A and B are shown apart, each in its own frame.
Chain A
Amino acid sequence: MASREGSAVGNDSHTVPVTVVVHSQPHAPAVHHSPGSSLPFTGAPLEALTAWGVAVTVVGAAVVTTLRRRRPGSRSAL
C-alpha cells in the first residue's frame, strides 16, 4: 500500500450506522421433515396407507360374510 502525498491524509475511513427494525415474527419457522432427518419420522406413504385400509376392509367384510353364513347352519343343526 502506498502512502499519500501532499494534503491528503492516510487511509480514509467512514462509519455508517445501520439499523434494522424487527416488528414481529410472522410465523413459526418452517421445518421440513423427511426420512432420515434428526426429527422422528412418523408418516407413511399414502399408497401404503391406502393399501392397508383396503386390506383391513376386505378382511372385515370376509369375517362378516362368514359369520352370516354360519348362523343359518347352526340353527338347522339345532
Chain B
Amino acid sequence: MIRLSRPRAVASLAAAAAVLVPVAAMADSSTVPVTTVVATGTRTLNVTDPTGAAIGASGLPLGAGHGGALLVNVTDLNYQHAGYQVSATMTNLYPWAGTTYDFNGTPIPSSAISVGYPSNLLDLVNVKSLVDPVIQLTGSVSVGPVGLGLPTAINQTVDGTTSSVQTLADQVTQSTLASALAELPVTLGTGETGSFDAPAALPGEPTAHPNPTSKVLMSGTAQDPATAALVSALQSTYGGETAAQLVAAGLLDQNAVISAVAQQLGITPDLLSASDITSIMSSLTGDITSIVGSVLGQSGSYNTMPTLSINVPSSASAGVYRGQLVVTLMDT
C-alpha cells in the first residue's frame, strides 16, 4: 500500500506546485524607497569680543579702562522655523590666584555687575526664508513624431522644491528693524538690563547658588513673513525662465514637470520620448504664483552687543578677581 501510494503523492505535489507557481508570480512586489527632506540645518551661538575675535584665556576685562563689551551672535543655516532666546547668568568674582579661585577670600558679588546696551547695536544679516514655491507652467508643446503631433497649450501648476528666499537687504539694523519686521521669518528682540542680583555657581565653589539671576540678552520669535514679498522676490529672480532653467536652478524637479504635462496630454509619462521631454522642458516657462503652506525654516545671522559694567565695593581688597558669565542659547 505504501509503495502504491508514493507515486500518487508525488503526482499530487507536482500538481500543487504547478498551481502554486502562477500564484507566486501574481503576488510579486517591488520596494520603492521614499525620501523627503526636512529642514535639517544648524543653529549656532558665538560669543566673542566686539571685533569678532575669541575672548582670550585671561577673560573679559571689566572695570576702569575696559569696555566690558562682547558680541553675541546666533547663526541659522536652513534651520527649522523656531524662535530663540539667548540668556546669561553671572557668578560671584573670587580672588584669582593665577590658576585657581580663592574661595576663602571675600568675593565681589555678582550683584555688583550689570548688563546694558550702551551701543544699541542690534542687527540681522543675510536673512532668508526657506519655502516651497508654487510654479505655474505655461506654453505650447507638440509631442509624438515630428510633424504628427498637434500643438497643445499647457497650463499646469506644480509644487517647486524647497528654496531659500531673501527679500531684505543684506543687513537690517535696529533703525530699519521696524520697517522690515513683516518680512522676517524670525524677529529680533532687545535684551534685559540690570544687575545679576543672585549669583550662579562656579565650578568647585563650596556655596550652592540654585537660583541665579538670568538676563535675556537677545531673543527672536518665529513668524510667517509676508507671503507677497516672498513670491515677489522669487518671481523677480526666476519668473519667465524655462522649465529646463528652473530645474537647473534647483527650483523644480523634472519629473514633476513631465508628470504635470502628461496629465494634461492624457497620456502616461513613459510614452514621452527623450526628444518630447527636451521639447517640453525648453518650451514651457514658469511663474511663481504662491508658496505652499508656511515658512519651513530660515538662514541668517543675528547680533547684539551687551556690555558688562562693575561697581567694585569699597570693601574689596586690591587684587585680581575672576568669575564666569555663562551665555546660553535655547530654541523657543
Contacts and interface: CB of A to CB of B under 8 A. Distances in A.
| A and B from one complex | yes
Interface of A: 1-8, 11-25, 28-29
Nearest to A13: B328
A64 B257 CA distance: 125
Contacts of A14: 45-47, 326-328
B292 interface: no
Q: How large is the interface on B (under 10, 10 to 19, 20 to 34, 35 or more residues)?
A: 35 or more
A13 B62 CA distance: 21
B312 A2 contact: no
* Secondary structure of the B contact surface, majority rule: strand
Nearest to A23: B318
Contacts of A3: 331
A17 B55 contact: yes
B58 A19 contact: yes
A32 to B, nearest CB: 14
B234 interface: no
The majority secondary structure among interface residues of chain A is: loop
B309 to A, nearest CB: 11
A1 B310 CA distance: 32
A20 B93 CA distance: 8
Contacts of B44: 8, 12
A28 B322 CA distance: 24
A16 B322 CA distance: 11
B208 to A, nearest CB: 18
Given A13-B328, A16-B70, A5 B40 contact: yes
B96 interface: yes
Contact of B312 (A4, A18, A22): A22
B325 A15 contact: yes
B79 interface: yes
Given A11-B328, A24-B318, A16 B55 contact: yes
28 contacts: A5-B38, A5-B40, A7-B42, A8-B42, A8-B43, A11-B328, A12-B328, A13-B328, A13-B329, A14-B45, A16-B47, A17-B60, A17-B325, A18-B59, A18-B308, A18-B324, A19-B58, A19-B93, A20-B61, A20-B93, A20-B312, A21-B63, A22-B63, A22-B312, A22-B316, A22-B319, A25-B314, A29-B314
